[in-house]
């Protein structure tokens, strides 16, 4: 039995946040969503699954995923080939909604409980995509604003690449920051192509 398979089974059975999720407006049960890999050279670290991903059980199975795949220059088949791309969000389950209808932040206990073990088993990773503030803070150990962190991407590449969240809510951010499409995305697509070849 491989270490990755065993850990994924453990994670699938995690119920640490059951009471927390039951107390949200959606009153949902935990459903951890990850895609670990011992062979992937690319690791995507996002925030936490949304409601649609909670239903499907497939990470980034939503418009945010469509945009992220476009940024990376890959199709769904490549994106979901766990031998090539691993996905490890900061929170493995949909956290529920706040009073305004926005996703709650990923519970910190998830990363504290599982993250170090999962990362240790994925030792072939060469590029870590840090999608959003939660992943950037955890992996980089600092709490700089997303725009500042992404703007300074060259200081972190080629190991880490900070990205804004690909949510369609961030369309305004993308329009205000054209340098992201002009500078970051060409590098990202070239590096993803290199690592997948």
What are the pLDDT digits (tens) for 183-194? 999 999 999 999
Average pLDDT over residues 172-189: 98
Q: Is the predicted pLDDT of residue 88 greater than 50, yes or no?
A: yes
- Which of 44-48, 80-84, 98-102, 131-135 shows the lowest mean pLDDT across its residues? 98-102
Average pLDDT over residues 36-46: 97
- Please identify which residue in the block is written with the tokens 């972190």: 156
Taking only Cα atoms into account, the Rg of the chain, rounded to an integer number of angstroms, comes to 16
User: Confidence class of residue 123 from pLDDT cuts 50, 70 and 90?
Assistant: very high
Q: Evaluate whether 31 touches 54 at the Cβ level (below 8 Å).
A: yes
Q: Evaluate whether 92 touches 14 at the Cβ level (below 8 Å).
A: yes
Average pLDDT over residues 91-116: 94
Q: Could you tell me the residue ranges of all domains in the chain?
A: 3-196
User: Confidence class of residue 100 from pLDDT cuts 50, 70 and 90?
Assistant: confident
Instruction: Provide the pLDDT for residue 101.
Output: 84
User: Confidence class of residue 82 from pLDDT cuts 50, 70 and 90?
Assistant: very high
Q: Is the predicted pLDDT of residue 103 greater than 50, yes or no?
A: yes
Measure the CA angle with vertex 135, ends 71 and 86; round to 5°: 60
Average pLDDT over residues 164-168: 95
Average pLDDT over residues 85-96: 98
- The CATH fold assigned to 3-196 is Uracil-DNA Glycosylase, subunit E (3.40.470)
| Residue 99 CB partners (closer than 8 Å, separation 6+) | none
Task: State the chain's maximal CA–CA distance in angstroms.
Answer: 49
What's the whole-model pTM score?
Answer: 0.96
């Amino acid at each position: 039995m491989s270490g990755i398979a065993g850990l994924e089974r453990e994670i699938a059975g995690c119920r640490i946040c059951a009471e927390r999720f039951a107390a949200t407006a959606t009153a949902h049960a935990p459903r951890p969503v990850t895609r670990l890999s011992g062979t992937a050279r690319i690791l995507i670290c996002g925030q936490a699954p949304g409601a649609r991903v909670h239903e499907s059980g497939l990470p980034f199975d939503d418009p945010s995923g469509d945009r992220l795949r476009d940024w990376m220059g890959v199709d769904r088949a490549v994106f979901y080939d766990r031998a090539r791309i691993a996905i490890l969000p900061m929170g493995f389950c949909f956290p529920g909604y706040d009073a305004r209808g926005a996703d709650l932040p990923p519970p910190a206990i998830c990363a504290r409980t599982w993250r170090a073990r999962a990362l240790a088993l994925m030792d072939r990773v060469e590029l870590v995509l840090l999608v959003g503030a939660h992943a950037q803070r955890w992996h980089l150990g600092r709490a700089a604003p997303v725009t500042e962190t992404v703007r300074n991407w060259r200081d972190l590449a080629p190991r880490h690449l900070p990205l804004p969240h690909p949510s369609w809510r961030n369309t305004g951010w993308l329009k205000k920051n054209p340098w992201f499409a002009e500078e970051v995305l060409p590098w990202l697509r070239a590096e993803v192509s290199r690592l997948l070849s």
